[in-house]
Amino acid sequence: MRFDVVTILPEMVQEALRHSILGRAITAGIVDVRVVDLRRYAEDRHRTTDDTPCGGGGGMIMKPEPIAKAVDAISAEHRPDRVILTDPQGELFSQRLAKELADEDHLAIVCGRYEGVDERVKEHVVTHMYSIGDYVLTGGELPALVMMDAVIRLLPGVLGNESAADAESFSECLLDYPQYTRPRMFRGWSVPEVLLNGNHAEIQRWRRCEQLSRTRARRPDLWDRFEPSDEDRRLLATGGEAPIVAPSAP
């Protein structure tokens, strides 16, 4: 899979790409990330990529010409499946969207900045706009890295356990279950006994019940989109206890 990241801060993106899962995926050749310095496509000797807003107002607006030229150069070599702008007005990025993007072969991400991007870029140059949340950041480099991390870890061969990504939070609109490790007792706080008894059926019921109950309590927005099965409802009603099986007739 290929990513092209268009930014005025290439060093910021390149440094992050050296580490952790992103770095290992690049080294392994699973993903190809190319960082494009937007200033290379500026048309004046000062390499200007922004200007004051038409009609007045504070802040600076990213100019359309450098962005369009950078995207044209990327497309001339290999046309991206999607040209994404990181923008607070875009669709909220989600695990569902990460899975959708992981099925693409080539994504270009334009990092927004300042007070915004010329509207003509949104209308004619990019194909999609995504936001990682309802808050303000200095620029789109961090959102671009967040989205790449979420997508790349879903690619085959990136995680050591191929099923790990399927069992994580948000994989089915549910939060993940609690996780514990050794020591068994820490400052008087113990690991739940159910995780230590070796009964895998009980462990699975407990974990599922925890997913259901904490999602319902902590993320009602996710819970409203989730459709619990009859077994899920029974687990919530019984607190994850095993069903009582009546003895068979002699």
Q: Are 50 and 114 in contact (CB under 8 A)?
A: yes
| CATH classification code of 169-238 | 1.10.1270.20
Please give the pLDDT value at position 99. 97
DSSP conformational letter for 163:
T
Find the mean pLDDT for residues 180-192: 95
Q: pLDDT of 134-176, one tens digit each?
A: 998 999 999 999 999 999 999 999 997 665 565 555 668 899 9
- pTM higher than the cut 0.85: yes
What Cα–Cα distance (Å) separates residue 86 from each residue in 5, 79, 136, 240?
A: 11, 19, 12, 42
Please give the pLDDT value at position 114. 77
Q: Where in the chain is the domain with CATH 1.10.1270.20?
A: 169-238
Peptide bond preceding 183 in cis form (omega within 30 of 0): yes
DSSP conformational letter for 125:
T
Q: pLDDT of 71-129, one tens digit each?
A: 999 999 999 999 999 999 999 999 999 999 999 999 999 999 878 999 999 999 999 99
pLDDT above 70 covers what percent of the chain? 92
- Alpha-carbon distance of 14 to 102, in angstroms, equals 21
Nearest to 169 by CA among 127, 115, 222: 222
Please give the pLDDT value at position 247. 53
Please give the pLDDT value at position 166. 59
Q: Where in the chain is the domain with CATH 3.40.1280.10?
A: 2-152
CATH topology of domain 2-152: Alpha/beta knot (3.40.1280)
Please give the pLDDT value at position 115. 82
Please give the pLDDT value at position 102. 98
